């Protein structure tokens, strides 16, 4: 049974966020000026009185299915009532598969509301213009840096075939590989990319396969985790979804929800599982030959068939629980670094890189936190990232991801095999392996 997404009526949302007297004052203010980057196809000549209609119009222009059901969720309205932020999900014509889902940002103009859809130049531009009560600084950094070019072409992410993904469950457990690579949206016209896998088993608790920003849609039955490099992991059919605020930065391994049969925005599920898929700049990405938690996934003929290979072991997808178990290798060895590890932090004008070596890295997630103090009018800053290691060494490139490094300032890093609490790198340690019982590796570098 399809569960219709609950959402707050937009007018009511405005009233809850500001008094009637405040709104009357706002009516006399000049509305924000709209910016449209070159090359972005956009209907700007006329707005809509209703923000839902504006969002739907923008979504249809950007390739959303033509079906009548629309699940639009207004997540935030700013204090002026001139900006809104949310998500839209539209089921596909057949009713099968996960929905077409995008974030959106809307502005009120003199002619009405106009909306921009995620993964478009206009959305990226508006994100950086939006007030902070609509879009946080971290969301501006992540959502405003998608790897597309004006005109819609994707920018290739060289060497990142795996997207550095972990298996979406707790290390030490083995889950069933129910269904091999298949279409995330079986009715999506022209889409033949098998971007989805189905898993179930263990404690049924679904964990984030990578770090990123958390967004919950479809009445909580779908979670998307977004990275600044354009990659996104999507988890559907969830229940008991994590009570995490949308836009929160989460670590790899964060609890997202439990496997279920929920279909908050369409589709179907005959048994509890997680429908796990990957996208790059909103475009579905196939699994054939891609690594996931130390396993390499392959297609086998028709969709839903497939296999996973690791160290000579081959597991064929099978919906019968217990017949296709994939182990998550990060269990007991991924807590502290094995004896005699090493780490090296290097800096140039353009980038800061960190390499970590330890004998127990293969199959483990490696977490890195970097911090620098306030300098030259720039506030202090903390960065967090993580990757899954396939060998005994791993390198994190361009840790700051923010243009050139700053001369005359020291950068501090902490590396760990477990998620790092905020503020650890700020302790400004240059060596910490022994003092933390093998938990951390600490470095410092200056330019």
User: What amino acid positions are annotated as catalytic residues?
Assistant: 237, 273
- 3-state DSSP helix/strand/coil percent for the chain, to nearest 5? 10, 35, 55
Task: Report the chain's C-alpha Rg in angstroms.
Answer: 23
Q: How many CA atoms lie within 13 A of 438 on its CB side?
A: 12
Is 353 among the annotated ligand-binding positions? Answer: no
Q: Are 94 and 67 in contact (CB under 8 A)?
A: no
Structure tokens that stand for 305 in this block? 């068939």
Query: What residues contact 428, with CB distance under 8 A and at least 6 apart?
Result: 371, 410, 412, 444
| Spatial separation of the C-alpha atoms in residues 230 and 141, rounded to whole Å | 12
> How many angstroms from the chain centroid is the CA of residue 346?
28
| Spatial separation of the C-alpha atoms in residues 195 and 213, rounded to whole Å | 20
> What 3-state class would DSSP assign to 140?
helix
| Spatial separation of the C-alpha atoms in residues 161 and 13, rounded to whole Å | 42
The residue among 312, 263, 296, 260 whose CA lies nearest residue 390 is 296
Is 92 among the annotated ligand-binding positions? Answer: no
The residue among 314, 313, 312, 426 whose CA lies nearest residue 372 is 426
- Residues that constitute the known binding site: 182, 198, 275
- Residues that constitute the known binding site for Zn(2+): 182, 198, 275
């Amino acid at each position: 049974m399809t569960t219709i997404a609950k959402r707050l009526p937009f007018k009511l949302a405005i009233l809850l966020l500001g008094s009637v007297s405040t709104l009357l004052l706002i009516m006399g203010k000049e509305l924000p000026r709209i910016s449209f980057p070159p090359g972005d196809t956009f209907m700007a000549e006329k707005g809509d009185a209703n923000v839902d209609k504006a969002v739907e119009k923008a979504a249809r222009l950007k390739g959303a299915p033509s079906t009548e059901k629309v699940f639009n969720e207004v997540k935030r309205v700013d204090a002026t009532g001139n900006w809104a932020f949310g998500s839209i999900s539209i089921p596909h014509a057949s009713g099968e598969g996960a929905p077409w889902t995008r974030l959106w940002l809307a502005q009120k103009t003199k002619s009405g509301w106009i909306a921009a859809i995620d993964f478009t130049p206009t959305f990226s531009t508006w994100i950086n213009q939006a007030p902070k009560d609509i879009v946080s600084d971290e969301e501006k950094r992540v959502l405003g840096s998608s790897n597309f070019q004006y005109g819609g072409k994707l920018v290739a992410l060289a060497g990142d075939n795996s997207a550095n993904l972990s298996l979406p469950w707790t290390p030490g457990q083995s889950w069933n590989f129910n269904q091999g690579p298949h279409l995330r949206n079986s009715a999506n016209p022209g889409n033949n990319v098998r971007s989805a896998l189905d898993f179930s088993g263990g404690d049924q608790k679904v964990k984030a396969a990578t770090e990123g920003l958390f967004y919950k849609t479809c009445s909580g039955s779908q979670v998307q985790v977004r990275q600044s490099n354009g990659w996104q992991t999507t988890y559907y059919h969830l229940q008991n979804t994590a009570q995490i605020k949308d836009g929160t930065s989460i670590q790899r391994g964060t609890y997202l929800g439990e496997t279920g049969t929920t279909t908050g925005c369409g589709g179907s599920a005959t048994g509890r599982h997680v429908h796990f898929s990957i996208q790059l700049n909103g475009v579905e990405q196939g699994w054939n030959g891609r690594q996931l938690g130390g396993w390499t996934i392959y297609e086998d003929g028709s969709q839903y068939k497939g296999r996973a290979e690791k160290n000579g072991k081959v597991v064929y997808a099978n919906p019968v629980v217990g017949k296709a178990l994939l182990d998550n290798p990060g269990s007991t060895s991924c807590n502290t670094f094995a004896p005699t590890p090493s780490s090296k932090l290097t800096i140039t004008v353009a980038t800061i890189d960190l390499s970590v070596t330890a004998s127990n890295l293969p199959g483990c997630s490696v977490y890195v936190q970097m911090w620098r103090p306030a300098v030259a009018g720039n506030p202090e800053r903390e960065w967090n990232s993580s990757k899954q290691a396939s060998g005994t060494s791993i390198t994190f490139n361009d840790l700051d991801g923010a243009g050139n490094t700053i001369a005359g300032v020291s950068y501090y890093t902490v590396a760990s095999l477990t998620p790092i609490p905020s503020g650890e790198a700020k302790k400004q340690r240059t060596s910490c392996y022994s003092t933390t019982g093998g938990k951390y590796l600490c470095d410092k570098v200056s330019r």
